[in-house]
Amino acid sequence: MVGVRIGQDAPWHGNIIYEVTDNTIRIAYIEKFMKSKAKAGCPVWVKYSNDYFIYYFHGHIAEINYDSPEYVLVELEIAEEMINNRLFPRYDVRLEASLKPVWDTETYSAVITDLSYGGASFICEHKFDNNENINMVIYLPDAEPAKVTGKIIRRRNTGGSQTDHAVQFIESDNISNRQLREYFEKLESESSEIYQRYIKKTHRKP
């Protein structure tokens, strides 16, 4: 499984790679995430991680095939490798959050782009300082918000008005831990369903 984002403002979603050839990859066409976004020439981001590294790829859609098994052919242009410092699996998400520095009263809106038991990545117009401690309220779907305290461990300019941050969780209560666990179990179930559905499609290919 890989994370895929179609277009600059789209959420990440789980996907599978059917084939890798030179500088192109063939991924599943998932109507739920791609119907109104996937077009020839549209920018695409792909993210893959293992126990040691995180790989980011950027490219564009070269072809869309609507015959079964439906797929999107992506031509890759840029690759980036980062050390994976997380102890837990990360999940590609798009969740609203409210962030407040521990020693400040100002609250800032952010979007969580990936999440794990140990930390998260988020984009925000405000630039937090490295090693700054923040209180986070993460708005989970169909559940009460999870509340955690974290420390900023990385900040990276994305080239727009939003700045990308990485935060390590340092404190969370039992209720929020349970809410996160249930949310991750739901994401695992959804990923398994996507995998099984599209792998079966490829097996039916004549």
The kind and range of the H/E element at 50 are: none
Residue spans of the domains in the chain: they are: 2-84, 91-186
Is pTM beyond 0.75? Reply is no
**CATH superfamily name and code, 91-186:** predicted glycosyltransferase like domains (2.40.10.220)
What's the rounded Cα separation, in Å, for the pair 93 and 89?
A: 13
In tens, the pLDDT along 153-181 reads 999 876 678 889 999 999 999 999 999 99
Between vectors from CA 48 to CA 124 and to CA 78, what angle results, nearest 5°? 75
In tens, the pLDDT along 32-79 reads 888 888 899 999 999 888 777 888 899 999 999 998 888 999 999 998
Q: How confident is the model at residue 22 (pLDDT cuts 50, 70, 90)?
A: confident
DSSP, collapsed to helix, strand or coil, labels residue 34 as: helix
